Structure 1
Amino acid sequence: MKPYPRALGLARQKPFLLSLLAGCITTNTLPALAEARVDLSTMEIQADAPEADDGYTALRAGTASKTDVPVKEEAQSVAVVTPEVIQDYDVHSLEEAMKFVSGVSQGNTLGNTKDSLVKRGFGTNADGSILRDGVRSNLSRNFGPTSERVEVLKGPASLLYGALEPGGLINVMSKQPQYIQSTTLSGSAYSEGGGSLGVDTTGPLGDTGFAYRLIAERQSEDYWRNYGVDQHTLIAPSLRWTGERASVTLAYEYNDYTSPLDRGTVFVDGHPASISYDKRLDEKWANTTGISETATSRFEYQLSDEWKTRLTYGWNNDRYSLAIAQPVSVTPSGELLRTANGGHYDYETTYTSWDFIGKQDFLGQRHDLLIGIDHEMNDQYRGKTYRNSTGSRRDINIYSPAYGTLAEPSQVSPTQSNARNELESTSLYFKDNWHLDDRWILVLGGRYQQFEQYAAQGLGANRKTSLDRDDQVVIPFIGLVFQATDALSLYGNYSRSFAPNTTVDDLNQTFDPEKGRSYELGAKYTLAPGLNLNAAVFDIEKDNVVSTRTVNGQSIGSAGKVSARGLELDLTGRLSERWNIIGTYAYTRTRILENNSNPAWEGNRLNQAPEHTASLYLTHHLQVQPDLGDWHTGAGARYVGKRAGDDENSFYMSSYTVADAFLRWDLPVHGYKAKLQLNVDNLFDKHYYPSSTGSALQVNVGEPRTARLSASVTF
């Protein structure tokens, strides 16, 4: 398979930076900007936004209302992984971040190449539930050096974000330009080999009102199994301008990456095969290589003391190629039949929204209002697609693998190449946090979304349009918050979700969008200053879930129904002056309620969804002499219960518990802030299997004990 062209860069794209500026600064806004210009020599610019986090506890979050709101005033469950948690446990991926949030586990990661998170029983690696600064992301990986905090909105989130699974969404918030000069140089060494070097610099540009930020990192680390390298080169500049009434932020991120595509291990008779844990069952050419880019711009203008408007433009693009040694079948003696597959992919999202955010008093009652319109285009394109002939030769033995027997993918499939799947939508939405009095908040919201779907694939005479339809949907939301005391807030909500179906069966049938409905009750309680306990119970049902059966050689689809019910608990914050805690527990009962294609599956659990998950992490700030610097240590473990490997429930992945620990030394060096930190993951070297692809021949293998030593200096 020929490598995907990598010298495309920005030249291949539309001149999107101009589009950003045009989208944010129109002829109508230029006078406003001019009027907003102030004499910065006499103006004090705040370096940071209002404090949103207190150590491990989040005080405010913006995902549930698209604006900064106290967490206790939201009629939904919102969890936040704060910057301090990310620093202490040296978080490097979204999966690592989610061990601090209840009810989230790993799904099918496509051989460890994509983010895939199951939330309240629902989620795939292509469900659109991961956002970057409020913009839906099409990228394979979404957490990195630019990530500052992660907000998780539980339950249906279609009110403000459109087509989504009903389990929730994850919003990765980026580091922003600051008006105080700071530069951090960092590096790390990885126990498996290799490491990283990085820089993060920010500060004002004179007295112009501008602030900049530049983040760059080069990482090259050996994969923990017997071969492969995980590496990337990232550069991310951003710029912010602040005036008296207006502000503009522009940001761009470029990431050139290569990572192994590891299909994991094989389950035999429902259990992991007794084979080497660290030996791969594919080939050295099995990897993914690509370029991902994001660009965002935001223009905000304070219309009055009560109202502001915000115009947002977002774009992200992931262009990559992958090659897979796909397992097909295995004999009792361990002879594995594989086929070489691959393809070139181009996934792109563009998003524009215009919001009006304000506070309005009416008849003595306050309304916190959001009114907006957005337009989104999601284009997923697979160009040349390689499907080598399977044949009948079993080319590797899982008990004593010998590599180099399977050739790289090279045979272009005329029926599966040039596959395009587009979803374009335009929506109107509103949300009103209606303060009935000092204790009661009624939350009302609605969304009207019109969308168009198009899908086609094939080369030449094999080209076939399989889906071309228009549709519309109305999404309601109602919630109620009762602030019983200053410490206790109770809430309940009813909400809905939708996600368009892309399935087209052999009878050329298409299907209505998947629709979910959810009921949720919860409590948010401050046990002590800086220590919060959140609890929620929920009941979700999802209709129009399509599955297929084979009749007379044809694939026939039909729609069914699934459900998820459960309980979630999250404890975060300070136990005392020197102790921090994160504790989570979730019980999630998932079931297939109706399945006309496979009635025997009714009553089965949804695949990848554990019934029980839990975690407990404690961090201690050691008391030492001041001239020895500050010492911090922490440790904890996460538990993930047994999960079904497929919807048929033909095999299960066992429960597991994995422990992590860290030790950090913060010390002044010639007036600079220096840090030396050791993180050890999977402290007791547990063998575990976090997810599957839905096949017993492709079960993901958990990372063994690894260590990372990192150092940084800030000046």
Structure 2
Amino acid sequence: MVCSQFKLSPIAAIISLSALTSFSVLADDAKVQEESIERISVYGASYRNTATKSKLSPIETPQSIKVIDQKELQMRGADSIIKAMRYVSGVTTEPRGGVISRLDEYTIRGFKNYNNYWDGLILPWNGWNIQPQIDAFSLNSIEVLKGPSSVLYGNAAPGGMINLAPKEPQQESQHTLQVRTGNRNLREFGVDSTGQIGDSDFSYRVTSLYHERDSQAATSENQRYFLAPSLTWQINDATHLKVYGYFQKDPKSGAYSSLPSEGTFLFNPNGELPVDTYIGDKNFDTFDRDMSLIGYKVSHQLNDSWSIMQHARYLYAEAITENIYNRGFAKNSKRLLNRAAYRNDESTKSFVIDNQISATLEQGVIEHNLLFGLDYQNNKFDKRWDHALLVSEKPQIPFESIPNLDLFARNNDQLSGRSFIRINQTLESVDYSQVGYYFQDQLKVNDFVGIFGLRYDKVQQNIEGRQLDYNAVLASGQVKPEFYTPSQESTDQDNLSIRFGALYTFDNGLAPFASYAEGFESVSGLNSEGNAFKPLTSAQTELGLKFTSENKEHTVTVAWFDIDKKNIVTTNPKTRTRRQTGLVNSQGLELESEISSLDNLLLTFSYSYMDVKVEKDDNPALVGKSPTWVADENAMAWVDYHFSNNFLEGLNVGTGVRYVGNSQVDDLNTREVPSFTLYDFAASYDFGSKIPSLSGMSLTLSVTNLTDERYVSSCYDSDSCWFGAERSIEAGVRYEF
């Protein structure tokens, strides 16, 4: 596919024109600093670029990368990963609507991504409900790398990755207390404290939060508390050690079920469903997740050129889920909903370690930044899925299914006093290990930056399980051992990934770049011939242009990308054979800009257009179709103004607008989920600007979906759609000292 295939909407045309205008205006009066290495200093001595695992700044990186720092998180009141991602181009957030406290789900450049990284190490997802979810209050910044990242990180989705940078111990004493309240009974208290321990070489940081709030769906709630301690030891001038922990409990995490399209955004003769519609029952609604992480990071400077680093972490998580889910309307009805119930018991044990040797070598005008790495991860997932049935009150029937729900006369307390039987339908134990060897050469010649990377991965996975013949249970009215079928499956895969790119910075601040990156994802199972599947592979070509002004007040990035994802497992609808013949292509255009030329005024803007299509599939009906959960277009803008020299001194006001384009209802693209536009608002007031005795105290306010727009965020199919997040109002007091 080529760029000429794009058919840009009027919005895209206007934005593209404004982007070119911005480049020409800003470039006329800007000059790059004589020493480009000085641009790195704004990120701090310990900064490591997610895209390169080096000190190369994002503006010098020949690949698209977006950094959301703590200032931006506070400016927009973004208290979760998902909320932070709402203003990033190429990202479609909240596929399950208002449910954002259970999973960080999103698509990047058209591809689903479930695995976040924390300080460069993966937070493994078990494929079901345990996704280690880090609270945004514990973070210093969020980095979004666009495109395949396997050369440095191994098994990864092709659209990109998110790396969460935690708050680090500081020598300077800093303390923050935060209290927040809001609609839906929000109650939150947070503490962040850091400083040097006496006159020693140790510094500490402790971050903690308690959060409680009613969920958008009726009768459901969210609750979380976490503690994140860390300690650094500057052993000597050359050696630095950090040890840390993160302990989180989520006793409640909102409703998870979907709704039919008819009644949400399509016509239903019975009327419209309210956005707080809940299809479950408060007597069978549980999500209880516990997560613990402990780790260390040690670095040592061997000499002026060579250094070593090792980062290791252990994670344990467990979760219990009890849920009633949607099975579509009953026959000949548009109000009675078929339902079923299940219980999941899950646990994850993970060990991850990354070893690096790096060197900075100069050969005349050429500076080589070499990186040699070896990383390893071992993840053990234990998963049990029980089909939950009611014990029948009828003597001739041993148990019965969950009763239907009248969506337009909802009773979420039907199961009160009823007892359940949980039939173990699926039991699965997964042992996954991956070892990767990687090399990177990042060279600089004056204003030219070139990168070449190579990585070899070896993946081994063993799955043991048993599956119940549920139809046999229904037919006999009892569970017998012979109804279970044991299974064992082993996967042994390897993959070689490469990446290369180049960027040149001109004196006027413009920096064109080009890159090529490959990725892979391991996949388990056998094809119809009994042979093990190969890894899914991906490749991205990206061309772009970056700009940064001399005073760092203007930055713009425009990028065009083309991604192919191959070896996708497909099923022939007639023969039911499974083969790796699938190919999905995603190409698009992205724009990110930040302008702060006027005193106290900051304007950020982002835009993306994506064309994602199935190009090959054993099901001909899917060829040429677009996947669900991907908006074809989005545009976001935020304006922030700080008053500093009048009676409003200390007041900061910001407002934003988010446009999210159409997405598909189902894989066959039978209809589209309508686009929507949302407005956000945030404000803060620094009491210390007028009253010195109250220095450090501020009042904060944030409102998302300001007009309380009713919208559907996405659909998986016509029976499974999710309402978007309703209006949220949050106010708080923050004290820093």
Which bracket does the TM-score occupy, shorter chain normalised? 0.7 to 0.9
Mapping for residues 317-396 of structure 1, pairs under 5 Å: 317-331=316-330, 332-383=333-384, 385-388=386-389, 395-396=404-405
* Mapped contact 2:501–2:513 kept (Cα < 8 A): yes
TM-score of the pair, normalised by structure 1:
0.87
Q: Deviation per CA, 1:18-60, whole angstroms, max 9, x where unpaired? A: xxxxxxxxxxxxxxxxxxxxxxxxxxxxxxx95329xxxx997
Is 1:665 paired with 2:664?
no
1:464 and 1:370 mapped to 2: Cα distance? 45
Distance 1:544 1:637, change over 3 A: same
- Bigger drift between 457-466 and 274-283 goes to 457-466
* Mapped contact 2:138–2:167 kept (Cα < 8 A): yes
Identity %: 22
Mapping for residues 227-626 of structure 1, pairs under 5 Å: 227-242=219-234, 243-257=236-250, 258-268=252-262, 271=266, 273=268, 274-284=272-282, 285-331=284-330, 332-383=333-384, 385-388=386-389, 395-406=404-415, 410-417=420-427, 419-435=428-444, 437-458=445-466, 462=484, 464-485=486-507, 487-504=509-526, 510-527=532-549, 529=551, 530-549=553-572, 556=578, 558-596=580-618, 598-625=619-646
- Bigger drift between 644-653 and 283-292 goes to 644-653
CA deviation after TM superposition for structure 1 residue 124, in Å: 4.0
- In the other structure, the counterpart of 2:111 is 122
1:504 and 1:388 mapped to 2: Cα distance? 32
Distance 1:156 1:535, change over 3 A: same
1:670 match: secondary structure: helix
1:509 and 1:267 mapped to 2: Cα distance? 39
1:550 and 1:410 mapped to 2: Cα distance? 37
Is 1:188 paired with 2:180?
yes
The one-letter code of the counterpart of 2:91 is V
1:465 match: secondary structure: strand
CA deviation after TM superposition for structure 1 residue 590, in Å: 0.2
CA deviation after TM superposition for structure 1 residue 611, in Å: 1.1
* Mapped contact 1:265–1:272 kept (Cα < 8 A): no
1:217 and 1:356 mapped to 2: Cα distance? 36
- In the other structure, the counterpart of 2:28 is none
* Mapped contact 1:386–1:409 kept (Cα < 8 A): no
For structure 2, the 5+ residue unaligned runs are 1-39, 125-130, 391-398, 468-480
- In the other structure, the counterpart of 2:119 is 133
2:722 match: secondary structure: coil
The one-letter code of the counterpart of 1:379 is K
Distance 1:548 1:106, change over 3 A: farther
Q: Deviation per CA, 1:632-663, whole angstroms, max 9, x where unpaired? A: 00001111111113322234321111110011
1:69 match: secondary structure: coil
Distance 1:268 1:502, change over 3 A: farther
2:206 and 2:528 mapped to 1: Cα distance? 51
1:393 and 1:259 mapped to 2: Cα distance? 22
2:433 match: secondary structure: strand
1:267 match: secondary structure: coil
1:153 to 145, 163, 169: 145
2:349 match: secondary structure: strand
2:670 to 647, 650, 673: 650
- In the other structure, the counterpart of 1:23 is none
Two-structure CA RMSD over aligned residues (Å): 2.5
- In the other structure, the counterpart of 1:35 is none
1:293 and 1:413 mapped to 2: Cα distance? 30
1:310 and 1:409 mapped to 2: Cα distance? 55
2:530 and 2:732 mapped to 1: Cα distance? 55
2:112 match: secondary structure: coil
Is 1:691 paired with 2:682?
no
Distance 1:688 1:141, change over 3 A: farther
CA deviation after TM superposition for structure 1 residue 142, in Å: 2.6
1:705 and 1:411 mapped to 2: Cα distance? 39
The one-letter code of the counterpart of 2:311 is T
Is 1:177 paired with 2:169?
yes
2:425 and 2:153 mapped to 1: Cα distance? 34
1:416 match: secondary structure: strand
* Mapped contact 1:266–1:272 kept (Cα < 8 A): no
* Mapped contact 1:496–1:517 kept (Cα < 8 A): yes
The one-letter code of the counterpart of 1:245 is A
1:145 match: secondary structure: helix
1:160 match: secondary structure: helix
CA deviation after TM superposition for structure 1 residue 700, in Å: 1.7
CA deviation after TM superposition for structure 1 residue 341, in Å: 1.1
1:457 and 1:483 mapped to 2: Cα distance? 55
* Mapped contact 2:155–2:520 kept (Cα < 8 A): yes
TM-score of the pair, normalised by structure 2:
0.84
* Mapped contact 1:547–1:559 kept (Cα < 8 A): yes
* Mapped contact 2:113–2:161 kept (Cα < 8 A): no
1:185 and 1:516 mapped to 2: Cα distance? 45
Distance 1:422 1:577, change over 3 A: farther
The one-letter code of the counterpart of 2:89 is S
- In the other structure, the counterpart of 1:19 is none
The one-letter code of the counterpart of 1:80 is V
The one-letter code of the counterpart of 1:261 is A
Distance 1:536 1:618, change over 3 A: same
The one-letter code of the counterpart of 2:679 is A
CA deviation after TM superposition for structure 1 residue 528, in Å: 6.5
For structure 1, the 5+ residue unaligned runs are 1-48
Distance 1:537 1:409, change over 3 A: farther
CA deviation after TM superposition for structure 1 residue 403, in Å: 1.8
The one-letter code of the counterpart of 2:162 is I
1:486 and 1:453 mapped to 2: Cα distance? 52
